[in-house]
Homo-oligomer: A and B are copies of this chain.
Amino acid sequence: MRQSHFFVQTLREVPAEAEVPSHRLMLRAGMIRQVVSGVYSYLPLGYRVLRKIEAIVREEMDRAGAQEVLLPAVQPASLWQESGRWDDYGKELLRFEDRHERMLVLGPTHEEVITDLVRTEVRSYRQLPVTLYQIQTKFRDEVRPRFGVMRAREFIMKDAYSFDVDEEGLDRSYRAMYQAYEQIFRRCGLEFRVVQADPGAIGGEGGSHEFMVLSEVGEDTILVCPACDYAANVELASGKVAGEDGRRSVSEKERFLTPGAKTIEELRDRYGLDPETIIKVLVYRVDDRPVAVAIRGNDEVNEVKLKRLLGARRVELADEETVRALTGTGFGSVGPMNLNMPLVVDDAVASMPEGVAGGNEPDVHYRHVVPGRDFNWDSRGDIRTARAGDRCVRCGAPLEEYRGIEVGHVFKLGTKYSEALSASFLDERGVQRPVIMGCYGIGVSRLIAAAVEQHHDDKGIMWPMPIAPFHVHVLPVNLKDAAQRDAAEQLYTRLENAGIEVLLDDRDERPGVKFNDADLMGIPIQLIVGKRISEGLVEMKRRKTGEVTLLSPDEAVRAAVEAVRSV
């Protein structure tokens, strides 16, 4: 491709709206342009990268035995009502009416549509297992789209769905997708971690993993054990923090006054209490019933875990008025004793030898409060948010914390959708049974942003070869010099004939402009044709390392072909 004809305009200015490097660089390099909040056009440079990633995804899906389909973006509301997600999904599900006043949605995901398809097509165990996938445009009406294509409203996703006769089949299908995902992200040149994850709105109880590209700008926090293979999204990560149950204090509980202290910080600063020894009690509305939740003063309630522990659909903090009506006191002195509502305690609280707790009257706390002696609970479990320094639940090593960009997510759905939509098959004995499902997503467009986050410097992008928009950027320094121009043209032609994707900067621009644009666009190999062509030499620069080699044009062609082929 000749750059003079290529539809790409680099920007020198850093766009004000772009907060993260990938968004800035994708805009500056001319890969994408915003059409409306969270909705982008892909320009030729960006689209080439998208197609490369799609091709890798497709190859690995096919290799794993998945079959490609194409489901529609527009879906009938009725399927979402059947699955129950019409009510559960919230405002990210964009709903609208057609001209005949039928309710439709723009698909944020396709469990309903694919389950509907399978229930009409599959009758017998002989047709199973099968895994279907598509690469397709989705829409989620994010309340705050940001970071360019990383959290867009319209985006491209690869979603796959597996259908099996039993759990062992699901395990096999899940493993095949899991391995294909590792292979995809490796081939895209990404450093990633697989972590245990919360199934969220997709649902299913059989297990779930996220594929996280490690990056400072990632919106997810993950906890990783450096000693074993434990890794989990903070939404459900566990960390050991406290001693064993059983060692209990023998001191009697003791009332004391704490005027003016409504927060853990105030109790610490004014009364010298260690937050780790405080039993903090919060009142939640759980599916509209009040529930008290006890955690340590230095911990945070993890609402995802709380929801799972209680099997709840919705949990939210109660307001102070509600708290006062229920406990007789406001925020700051609520405690676990003598409550007239269910109490849920975190494992770390349950195993405290003793603690300081609110007295359920204003400005009153108690010391030497012993869990199990001074108060009991209706439910206990791991409901705190784990953090760096907690001990690994598997091996005890201190956990480390990273930020990650979720680029893939696999779920064991089980029968959540097949039961709701009656997708069943006849087994070998003629018994009707629901199909066992898994689902598997990759944010194809988000992958581009994740790759840029991991592969850039202050000058621009540094594409890994397998997903680079072009392999080689040929840069004649001075087009008016016939020797330079001719040598560049020859390199261009020879490389293209060898099947290499080449961008030839045949623009009549100053060398500085060309070099800056080339570094910004980030094509892996730059072949710079300058004055030393008179000695029969061109410069080959590796964008990633900055390494420059002087080569003859013949050698340069050979080296470039080798660099491309070796990937």
Interface residues of A (CB under 8 A from B): 4-7, 9, 30, 33, 35-37, 39-44, 47-48, 50-51, 65, 67-76, 91, 94, 96-99, 102, 104, 106, 113, 116-117, 120-121, 126-127, 130, 132, 137, 139, 141, 143, 153-154
Interchain CB contact under 8 A, A143 and B47: no
Copies of this chain per assembly: 2
Could you list 22 examples of A-B contacts with CB < 8 Å?
A: A5-B65, A7-B67, A7-B121, A7-B130, A9-B121, A33-B120, A35-B76, A39-B76, A40-B72, A41-B69, A41-B113, A42-B70, A43-B117, A44-B69, A47-B68, A72-B154, A73-B137, A73-B154, A74-B139, A74-B153, A91-B99, A96-B96
Interchain CB contact under 8 A, B91 and A94: no
Complex Cα–Cα for A97 and B36 (A)? 13
Interchain CB contact under 8 A, B42 and A69: yes
Nearest-neighbor residue (CB-CB) of A6 within chain B: B67
9 tightest CB-CB pairs across the interface, nearest first?
Answer: A96-B96, A36-B76, A42-B70, A44-B67, A91-B99, A39-B72, A41-B71, A72-B154, A9-B121
Additional A-B contacts beyond A7-B69, A7-B127, A98-B141 (11; CB < 8 A): A4-B126, A7-B132, A33-B117, A33-B121, A35-B75, A36-B74, A41-B69, A43-B117, A43-B121, A73-B137, A73-B154
Residues of B within 8 A of A126 (CB): 4
Nearest-neighbor residue (CB-CB) of A132 within chain B: B7
Complex Cα–Cα for A14 and B74 (A)? 26
Complex Cα–Cα for A73 and B37 (A)? 13
Complex Cα–Cα for A96 and B106 (A)? 11
Interchain CB contact under 8 A, B69 and A35: no
Nearest-neighbor residue (CB-CB) of A136 within chain B: B137
Partner pick for A41 among B70, B91, B98, B102, CB 8 A cutoff: B70
Interchain CB contact under 8 A, B71 and A73: no
Q: Give min CB distance, A3 to chain B, whole Å.
A: 11
Q: Give min CB distance, A208 to chain B, whole Å.
A: 25
Centre residue among A67, A72, A73, A75 by max chain B CB count within 10 A = A72
Complex Cα–Cα for A13 and B65 (A)? 30
Nearest-neighbor residue (CB-CB) of A68 within chain B: B47
Complex Cα–Cα for A127 and B9 (A)? 10
Interchain CB contact under 8 A, A143 and B74: no
Interchain CB contact under 8 A, A35 and B132: no
Interchain CB contact under 8 A, B137 and A35: no
Complex Cα–Cα for A94 and B103 (A)? 12
Interchain CB contact under 8 A, B36 and A104: yes
Complex Cα–Cα for A43 and B120 (A)? 12
Nearest-neighbor residue (CB-CB) of A95 within chain B: B96
Nearest-neighbor residue (CB-CB) of A116 within chain B: B35
Complex Cα–Cα for A35 and B47 (A)? 29
Q: Give min CB distance, A157 to chain B, whole Å.
A: 13
